[in-house]
Amino acid sequence: MRRFDLTLPRTVDDCVKILSDRGDDAKLVAGGTDLLPQLKNGLLKPRYVVDLSGVETLRAIRVANGSGLRLGAAVTARAIETEPHILSAYPALAESGALVGSLQIRNLATVGGNLCNAAPSADMAPPLLALDAEAVIVGPRGERRVPLTTFFLGVRKTVLAADELLVELVVPAPGPRSGGQYLRHTPRRELDIAVVGVASQLTLTDGVCRKAAIALASVAPTPVRAVAAERALTGQAVTPELIERAAELAVDAARPISDQRGSADFRRHLVKVLTRRTLTTALERARAARQEA
C-alpha cells in the first residue's frame, strides 16, 4: 500500500468538511474490505483517507415509527446477519449480509461500503432494491434522498459526488403478508463472490400478488430490477407456472458478460434458476407471515 494521510472525523459534519476540501483526492474508509484491497492493488492511490469508524451515528440501526428500518451506512454485514428484527421482518436482507465473504470480513464490511463500492455483485444491493430502499446522502449542499433504484450509475459508479457521503438507508416496511429471499450462486460455500445473485420480495393481498420485486446482481453493470417479471406477477395469483414465466422474463432483464467467474450463458441460466427458487420461497414466507403493522 502506498503512503497516505489519514483523518479521523467524529461527526458527519466533520466528514463533509474534509470532503469539501479534499474531495477528489480523498477516499472514505469504513470496513475497508473493498477499499484496502484496491489500495493494495494500486487501483486507487488517494492522498487522503478518511476513517469513518469514529462516527458513531453511522452505526445505528433504528426501527422507525414502529415500522420500516433505518440502517446507518456503517452498519456491518454481521449486524445485518444477526439483528433479530432484520431476521424476522427482512429475511432476504439478513441472508445477503450472511453471505458476504467470511465471518472475518462480515465483522468489518458495511452495508454503505457494499453499496458505495457499487460492484455489480454487491450482495446487499438486491434485497435493498427489492425492498424499495432509499439512500440518505449528505454533502455541503445539505441532505438528499435517492431511491436505490437510481443510486447506481455503472460499474463502481454511484450518484455520490466527490464531496458527499452516504449516511443512512431507509427501508420501508414490506407490509403484512410479505416475504422475500436472497440467493446467490458461488462455487464455494464461503469466501466467495456472487456469480449471480437474486432477491425476490412478494407481498400478497387475499392470496393475490399485490407487489412483486425481483432484483439481480452480477448480470449487468449495476444491480437491476427485473421489471417485466415483476409486472407479470402483479395482480395475479402466484402459481408455479406463473413463477416459471416470471423466471424466464427475469432473464431478459439480465445483460451479463462472460468473465472468469462465469459465462454469460451460465449467468442467464442461473437467473432463471435462482428467480424460480427465490420466488417460490418468497411466496411461502409471504403466506406464513403474520398480519402485523
210 in Cβ contact with 234 (< 8 Å) = yes
Part of the chain binding other proteins (CB under 8 A), chosen from 63-71, 95-103, 147-155, 235-243:
95-103
Per CB under 8 A, the segment of 34-42, 112-120, 165-173, 232-240 that binds other proteins is 34-42
- 257-263: Cβ within 8 A, 24+ apart: 261/193, 261/195, 261/218, 262/195, 262/196, 262/218
Q: Are 28 and 6 in contact (CB under 8 A)?
A: no
How far the first Cα of the chain sits from its last, in Å, is: 50
User: Does 36 help bind other proteins (rule: CB under 8 A)?
Assistant: yes
Q: Give the position of cell 406464513.
A: 288
Asked if 37 touches other proteins (CB under 8 A), the answer is: yes
What's the chain's length in residues? 293
The residue within the footprint of other proteins, chosen from 74, 108, 115, 133 (CB under 8 A), is 108
Least Å from the CB of residue 81 to other proteins: 12
- Quote the CA–CA distance of 239 and 119 in Å, as a whole number: 34
Q: Which is nearer to other proteins, 20 or 266 (CB)?
A: 266
CA–CA separation, 256 and 55 (whole Å): 38
Q: Can residue 153 be called a binding residue for other proteins (CB under 8 A)?
A: no
The smaller minimum CB distance to other proteins, of residues 23 and 101, is found at 101
Round the CA-based radius of gyration of the chain to a whole number and report it.
19
203 binds other proteins (CB under 8 A): no
Check residue 103 for interaction with other proteins (CB under 8 A).
yes
CA distance 184 to 195: 7
Determine which residue in the list 42, 66, 84, 142 makes contact with other proteins, applying CB under 8 A. 42
What gap in Å lies between CA 76 and CA 71, rounded to an integer?
10
Nearest residue (CB) to other proteins, 13 versus 190: 190
Cβ atoms of residues 191 and 94 within 8 Å:
no
The residue from 10, 40, 144, 145 that contacts other proteins (CB under 8 A) is 40
Q: How far apart, in whole angstroms, are the C-alpha atoms of residue 267 and residue 284?
A: 25
Q: Is position 236 an interface residue for other proteins (rule: CB under 8 A)?
A: no
Residue 67 within binding range of other proteins, rule CB under 8 A: no
User: Is 57 among the residues that bind other proteins (CB under 8 A)?
Assistant: no
Note the residues at the interface with other proteins (CB under 8 A): 1-6, 8, 29, 31-33, 36-37, 40-42, 45, 49, 51, 53-54, 78, 101-105, 107-108, 185, 187-193, 195, 259-263, 265-266, 269-270, 273
